[in-house]
Chain A
Amino acid sequence: MEYLIGIQGPDYVLVAADTVAATSIIQMKHDHDKMFKMSEKILLLCVGEPGDTVQFAEYIQKNVQLYKMRNGYELSPTAAANFTRRNLADYLRSRTPYHVNLLLAGYDDHEGPALYYMDYLAALAKTPFAAHGYGAFLTLSILDRYYKPGITREEAVDLLKQCLEELKKRFILNLTSFNARFIDKEGIHEVDNIPLAKVES
């Protein structure tokens, strides 16, 4: 039902998520933000079971902030991704595993941009592009076909729009609104011209 997508370029990461919060057949909220800001240059996109998503993402968020307070510098995206995966793995075989699927996107001043794919079984993979949800079945092949390593920001936004158009065309659920953000060395920026983004309440 929920959809996440990330595309990494040479000096940025573009991430987008749908903004629907639903319970069975009812859409309770159409402008729900599924991106959690870990630090100035790291975003965690989190979908899955209601309750687990917010609780897990806020737990990781507070721990990343605590690291910064204790040590005086921020966790890198790689370290944050591995920390997140470690927590998922530790809770997996407990009485209360977190059923969440994540994309962690960040920009490291030394290593550059990074996109990490994690799922509820605590898998972790650093990939140039990734998607979660039923929509991923329809859009991963588009990313395979049209992605190239030196992809520019305009091309990345076009590729994202192609993926969202494909969902609009072929996905049985009507995901009407998305929000998208860029992460680069200046920080996190909103993307304004995503189609289907304007829905009147």
Chain B
Amino acid sequence: MALASVLRAELAEFSPNFPKNFPKNFPKNFPEDFPDDSEGIPEILRDPPGPPRVLAAPPWGFEAEPEGPGLQILHGTTTLAFKTPHGVTVAVDSRATAGSYIASQSVRKVLPISGRMLGTMAGGAADCAFWQRLVARQCRVQELRNKEPVSVAAASKLLANLVYQYKGLGLSLGTMLCGWDKRGPGLYYVDSEGQRVAGAAFAVGSGSSYAYGVLDRGLAAAARSEEAACELARRAIAQAAHRDAYSGGCVRVMHVGPDGWREVSHHDIAELQDKYLE
């Protein structure tokens, strides 16, 4: 009940029918009277004549990623999280790239949702930051109304339903919600395709496949203690950063336990790699 009222009341301004970046002079009878403004363009570079062909179904899969203007996107990233009996261990790198240019080596890719929940950032930085902050606000409202901390399942479902309304319109988001609620440690992967899955371990980003390799092999041993889990997480990110050009900077390890989340450590990847790969 309360959840439904949170969604209905607060989201009128975010109605999906008019996303904010919709062009103002969009013709009413698209595609019939699409303005033809290719006078100044050489013939060879023009679009083929006629209105733009509109597909019966919006493109999905690979075609759904539009080549937008130079956004600072964070597909180039490695983030991972896994559950242990002590809680959820989260590790992220901190590199942001725009094409082959390294825009920053010190991006914070972990966003706090509540005192007991963290969200990771992969994909579009603005998309992740904005939507997770919105979900954080809704979680706080729900906590105040219900006098009970919001569960990871509920927060991830809120986020998944929000981004599903913008599916196909160019959002880019691959996030893991990691938290501790009354059912124990909770870990959900949510992305802008609309996928939402619960699991014991996830890695997201361009370096995720490299991280999975190290993570999966060491997961059994990591359950022994919190230090072992954090060391595994650190190692997996460092190894992924070694192989993936778009990951690097420093690795930040966080832990979410029954008392809330805390930052465990923060190491420069270059120094870690010197230590591991000697």
Binding site for B on A (CB under 8 A): 21, 23, 25-26, 28-29, 32, 49-52, 54-55, 92-93, 95-97, 99, 201
Once A26-B212, A49-B193, A51-B194 are accepted as A-B contacts, the answer to whether A99 and B199 lie under 8 Å apart by CB is no
Once A28-B197, A32-B197 are accepted as A-B contacts, the answer to whether A51 and B167 lie under 8 Å apart by CB is yes
Partner of B164, one of A25, A26, A55: A55
Interface majority SS (helix, strand, loop, mixed), chain A: loop
Write the chain B residue with the least CB distance to A48.
B60
Interface residues of B in 37-60 (CB under 8 A from A): 56-58, 60
Partner of B209, one of A26, A52, A99: A26
CA distance A29 to B195 in the complex (A): 12
Contacts of A97 in B (CB 8 A): 56-58
| Interface contact A21-B197, CB-CB below 8 Å | yes
Binding site for A on B (CB under 8 A): 56-58, 60-61, 160-161, 164, 167-168, 189, 191, 193-200, 202, 208-209, 212
Contacts of B167 in A (CB 8 A): 51-52, 96
Contacts of B60 in A (CB 8 A): 49, 99
Contacts of A26 in B (CB 8 A): 208-209, 212
| Interface contact B200-A95, CB-CB below 8 Å | no
Q: List 18 A-B contacts (CB under 8 A).
A: A21-B197, A25-B209, A26-B208, A26-B212, A28-B189, A28-B202, A29-B197, A29-B198, A50-B191, A50-B194, A50-B195, A51-B194, A54-B194, A54-B196, A96-B58, A97-B57, A99-B60, A201-B200
Contacts of A23 in B (CB 8 A): 191, 195
CA distance A32 to B208 in the complex (A): 20
Contacts of A25 in B (CB 8 A): 209
Partner of A50, one of B57, B193, B202, B212: B193
CA distance A97 to B161 in the complex (A): 16
CA distance A31 to B216 in the complex (A): 16
Contacts of B189 in A (CB 8 A): 28
User: How close is A138's CB to chain B, nearest CB, in angstroms?
Assistant: 23
| Interface contact B195-A51, CB-CB below 8 Å | yes
Write the chain B residue with the least CB distance to A120.
B57
CA distance A28 to B167 in the complex (A): 20
Known: A23-B195, A49-B193, A201-B200. 12 other contacts (CB 8 A): A21-B197, A26-B209, A28-B199, A28-B202, A51-B194, A54-B160, A55-B161, A93-B56, A95-B58, A96-B167, A97-B57, A99-B57
User: How close is A172's CB to chain B, nearest CB, in angstroms?
Assistant: 19
Among B161, B191, B194, chain A packs the most CB atoms within 10 A around the CB of B194
| Interface contact B164-A51, CB-CB below 8 Å | yes
Write the chain A residue with the least CB distance to B194.
A51
| Interface contact B194-A52, CB-CB below 8 Å | yes
CA distance A71 to B208 in the complex (A): 50
CA distance A49 to B195 in the complex (A): 9
Write the chain A residue with the least CB distance to B54.
A95
| Interface contact A55-B197, CB-CB below 8 Å | no
CA distance A25 to B213 in the complex (A): 13
